[in-house]
Every structure is written in structure tokens, then in C-alpha cells.
Structure 1
Amino acid sequence: MYHPRLKGSHYDMGYKYGDILYKGGVSFESVINLSEEQLQFGVESIEICKDVYPEILEEIKGFTDGLRYSFEKFACFLISAGVFDYNYGCTCFCMKNENEVIFARNHDMFTELRKNTESVLCQPENGYTFLGQGDALIGKEEGINEHGLAVGFTYVRPKQHKPGLSFLFIIRYLIEKCATVEEALREFKKLPVASSQNILLVDKSGDMAVIESCSEKYIIRRPENNEKFLAISNNFTHPDMLEYDGSPELNWYHSQTRYETAVNALKTGKKDYSLDYAKKILSGELGFICQYERKLKFDTLWSSIARLNDLKIYRAEGNPRKTKFIQETRLDWAMNRK
């Protein structure tokens, strides 16, 4: 897993990262092969992005300048990721008690992408400092910012799509621009959504919400029956969203099983809510959640937990059944230097 630290304007952050990869001999020539449909989709989405999130295009421009690569081709690649038949198998949840607010997520993907994973400390001039994880460079799949807002994503196979922002940009946008769940919900409603996903939001006050969304519709879920947790995997769960779920089967990549494991553990373990309890859930000690068969060549590539009250963050850079959680201190370091 890469651990870059980026600071400055969006262009400067992008250029620094692209230049590092270029000097390291990284090339995308054999990686990016876009169809005409993907290129057209990307070009139309770039035009939309100019209006709603121009900073991210500046960062992509800096990145491609540093990498000595085509801006349009790379931007189309990022924007179309997850829109055209992609596979993810992530699980994400949050929980709170009187003293702690906990965020947790497993990122499950094909093992061949393990070398692409990264945890980036970003300190943008015009945005909130945040720590973000992903496997697609500039875009992010989860993150926590200086105000104690955590955002996590789980992929849902789309049935339809239209030009706009994919999950990689949506997650990054919310982490970078929002301080609370309520602010993130307001901002999300302004965004043109291209991909299908669940987005979990939780802040240090304990406010939490899930957005089940696709290009046609979205709904917002809140905890029910006085529960103090929320969970998501790779299916929509709200009745109004089921018709938009393009999963080939309900338990696709064990999505339903993982969701039930998390929900059951959160329902029955209320007295145990803590960082250690989150580790137990993510590590599969309380049921199937990361125990994929080797023949699938699909695994948990990293696992993250955080206590948002004091921004204590831990990450296992590998399957948490086999890899220890190590404390991540870069966000705390950045805040102490402000």
C-alpha cells in the first residue's frame, strides 16, 4: 500500500503524485483501454464535472502532467470506473455508545489490485485535510477528515447509468468539503450521480446516515427502532431501491451474508461497542465477512477502523484475519501542525 502525503493546490497535489509515479517507472499504457462508449461517457462527464467539482479536474490535470500522460484518456478512465460492469465486495458499518463513535470498513477486491492500494494524506489549500483510502489514485473509496466526518462506500452493480460523478469522485467530494453528516447530505443532493452505490456517513457527534443511490434515484436511511448503528454491503436494502439493484444474485460475493454478519453482531453486541469489537467483526470472528475462498482470487485488501471522537485510526493492510491493525497517525500529525 502506498502512503503519499500531498499538500497545496489541487494541481500541485496531482502533479507531485504523477511525477513520483513517472520517476518510478509507472505507466498506464497497458492498463487503460477504453471503449468508444466509455470515452464518450467520460467526455460528457468531464463537462458536468467542470461545473460541480472543477478542483478534481485540476488535480487530474496536474497528475497527468506529472505522469506525462493524456488528460482526457486518464480522466475518462477514472470517471467511468465502476459505471461499466465492475466488481467490489466491501462491507462498512458504524456504531456509537455514550462515549465513542466508531467507523469501520473492509475493502474487498481482486487480489491482482493489491499493489494499487493507497492511503493518502491530503491537505488541499481549499478544502479539509483528510486521510483517504482507495485503489484508483485520485478518487477515494473511504476517508476521514479533520472534523471527524467519515465516509465509506460499497459498490452496487448498476442497471443503468448516465454521465455525472462516479463514486470515486463523490466520496472524495464529501470528505473534502463537508464537516458533518447533515452538510454531506445537503451537498450530495446537488451532485449528478453516475454510478450505483451505498454511502455511509457518520460524524464525531454520532449522527449517521446511509445514502442508497444510483443515476435514477436515491434514498436516505437512518437508524431504526432506536438502534445506534448502520451497515452496508453490496446490495440495496431499502424497498424503494431494490428495482435498481443490478446484482446477478442476492448473495453476490457473499454480500447478503456479510451484511447479516455485521447487522447481527451490531444488534447483539451493544454492550461491547469499541474499536476492538469493530476489529472482531471485520476479522470474521463473529461470522463470515472476509473469509473468501482462495480460488476466487478475491480478498479483503485492507481494513480500516476509526474512533471519530479523537481521530484514532487503525488499518490492517491486508486481510484482517491474517494482518495486524496498526495505528495510523498522519491525520493527527497534520492537525497538530496546523
Structure 2
Amino acid sequence: MQSVHTDIIQFSGSHYQFGLFQAEKLKNSPIRTHRRALLSKRWRNFLVDEAEVKAAFQTFSPAIWEEIQGLSDGLDMSWNDAIREFGGYYYEYGRSGCSIHTKKDFLVRNYDNAPDSYEGRYVLYAPSDTGYASAGPSMQITGRTDGINEKGLTMGYNFVNRKKSGDGFICNMIGRFILENCATVEEAIQLLRDIPHRNTFSYVLLDPSGKKRIVEVSPRHFFVREGSSCTNHFDALTEENRYRSDESMERLQKIEAKQQAIYSPYEAFRMLNDVDQGIFSEKYGAWAGTLHTALYIPSELSAWIALGGDRQPFVFSFRKWLQGDKLHATKVKGRINATNTFINQ
């Protein structure tokens, strides 16, 4: 078993200031060492056309472009290196699992991946220049794996396929765009329709009205459907699925069978987080072990998170945070049954 933790990052201010703030925290962090090693091993996956990436950011989020500028200045990085490392464009995404279940009043998800891909950063950010405040775990520093924003819109995504990839943004940056720019499920659907996609993913959306949708997206196709549960295969765009989806289908069947007895957010959390329920995964060596279980309640603007299985969630009110009640906690601790640990340690 490995002891792991997520650092809680809290900030209010402009995007450029936020970039500088994060740069200061990253200067002596093991995260930077790991990312430099990754860049050196897989440099071809990080090649970017600066003009193309800038044009895409100017269309979808000029403010996050400023955040990357702050990271570049604060870390004394070349601009091209900063775009490659923090831009979320062209980057090759590794295989992963993930399970999501929604009802009209909550979204709960298991984020499954390899421990040495996980940054261990939970970010609460309230922009002073433009965009909605949001809370959620980070990926590639600027991106988000899931989260909730001040309007109560919550999102998570599930990997489906990385073959036949296209030019475009990857899942975590798209998640950030959704949280910062969209107030409703319909607005998020439109953004997902407009944005260029690098890989093939399902995006699961829920807002305070109780509207929930699953959006199946690839670089070639787009489909919106109703549904309550989602794993790592498409129900509609089946031609985009991997050759073998047996394990994903089995997890989905387990969720669908158990959801009939789920009446509360806590019961849903236990369904995904308890190891003996069969949905939580310990396949860490196959890029498919559960790293965190997160739950969001839009009507309350509350967020839950736990690291590893059979854990009690860390619960906080995002609404109170927005009102100025900052979190006193600096870390969320947990344990995973793996040989590797998170890259923040």
C-alpha cells in the first residue's frame, strides 16, 4: 500500500496572477521533475504549432492563455515549452478507465489511471478577470479531470479511444473550458460541439436544473444522449469503440444493477468507492486503477473527494468558499494498493 495525498490549491485573482502563483508552488515540486522526464521521453507527442494553438485559445479561452503566460514567466520557461507543457493541445493521452453515475441531484465518478500520471492537486480558483470560479482535481496543471463551477454545472469525462487522433485539445483542458465558460448543460454541449478534439471521450454533464447528458465525442463524430451511467465505451457511436470493451461493459452493468438501490449521494459514493462493490479498480499497473472518487451536488455547490478505496470522503462547501470561507485543510490523504505513488511526492 502507498500513502498518497492531494495538495489543496486556493486562489482568487487574474489568470496571469494565478499562473505566477502556481509557478511559485511548482518551482521545487517533484511534479516538475517528472514532467521534464516525460517530455524528454515522448517529445514527439508534445510538438505544437504556436500560431495554431494561440488561435484556438483566443477562440475558446484567451484567459487561460494568460495563465500559461504566468506559468512561463514564473518558471522562467521558454514560451514554446510552456505551451507544450501546459497548453493541453496535441498531447497524447494514456489509456485509462473511469466510471461515472448521475442522478438529477448529483454526479459521482471514479477517476482511473496510473498513479505516476496523477499530480495530486485539488484546485479552487475564482478568476477576477473573466470566467466562472471552479473546483476540481488538476491534470497537466491547467486542466481538470472533473469538477464543479459557481453556477453548479459539474462535469467528468471517460476515455474511450486514442487511435485515429486529430489536431485539437485533450480532455483535461476541455474540462477546464467547460467549467470556466459554461453555466448550463446546453452551453457545455455547444462548446463540446465547437471545440477541436484530440481524442475520443465521453463527457458527462449535470446542472442544478437536474438536466444530465452524456456527450460522445471523437475527432470525427459527435452525439448527445440521455443516460445515468457511463464507463469507457460509447453506446451510440459504437464504431469509435476499442476492439475489446468487455471490462468497460461489465463495470457499466454493475453500476446499472446497483443503481436501483441508490437513493442518496452517500450511497452512490460508497457504490463507487467500496472495493468489494466491484466498480472500484486496483489495476494500477494497467493505467486503470482508481485514484480518486469525487462527488458533486450542484444545488448545494458541495464537493466530495477521497483518494483510494474504502475511504470516507473529504467534504466541503464550494458555496461557502466563494463567500470567503477559505479551507483550512491543506491536504487530502489516502492510500492506494499500488507500487507507484503520485508525482507530487
Cα distance in 1, alignment partners of residues 162 and 49 from structure 2: 15
Task: Looking at secondary structure, tell me which structure has more strand per residue.
Answer: 2
Q: Which runs of 5+ in 2 are unaligned?
A: 1-5, 326-345
- The correspondence for 1:236, drawn from 234, 253, 256, is 234
The alpha-carbon deviation at position 232 of structure 1 amounts to 1.4
Task: Answer yes or no: is the 8 Å Cα contact 1:4–1:119 preserved in 2.
Answer: yes
Work out the number of aligned pairs and report it.
316
71, 79, 83: which one aligns with 1:71: 79
Mapping 1:1-338, distance limit 5 Å:
1-24=6-29, 26-27=32-33, 28-33=35-40, 34-36=42-44, 38-40=46-48, 44-79=52-87, 84=92, 86-96=94-104, 101-114=105-118, 116-125=119-128, 126-223=130-227, 230-238=228-236, 241-245=237-241, 247-251=242-246, 254-266=247-259, 268-269=260-261, 272-284=262-274, 287-293=277-283, 296=286, 298-316=288-306, 318-321=307-310, 323-329=311-317, 331-337=318-324
Any unmatched runs of 5+ in structure 1? Answer: 224-229
Q: What secondary structure is seen at the aligned counterpart in 2 of 1:260? A: helix
Distance 2:182 2:287 in 1: 36
- Partners of 1:83 and 1:196 within 8 A in 2: no
Please tell me the residue identity of whatever aligns with 2:266. Answer: D
Alignment RMSD (CA, Å): 2.4
Distance across 2 between alignment mates of 1:9 and 1:301: 30
Matched AA of 1:250: S
Give CA deviations for 1:158-211 in whole Å, capped at 9, x if unaligned.
222222222111111111111111221223222222221110000111011111
Question: What TM-score do the two structures reach when normalised by structure 1?
Answer: 0.85
Return the offset for 1:46: 4.0
Aligned counterparts of 2:302 and 2:45: Cα–Cα separation in 1: 43
The code of the aligned residue for 1:140 comes to R
Rounded to whole Å, the distance in 1 between the matches of 2:45 and 2:9 is 33
**1:279 counterpart SS class:** helix
SS at match of 2:278: coil
Higher relative contact order structure (alpha carbons within 8 Å, sequence separation ≥ 6): 2
Give distance in 2, aligned partners of 1:284 and 1:300: 11
Aligned partners of 2:121, 2:142: CA distance in 1, in Å? 10
C-alpha contact (below 8 Å) 2:90/2:169 kept by paired residues = no
> Aligned residue for 2:335?
none
Q: Percent identity?
A: 23
Structure 1 stretch 162-171 or stretch 116-125: which is displaced more?
162-171
Worse-superposed segment, 32-41 or 198-207: 32-41
Offset of 1:35 from its aligned partner?
A: 3.4
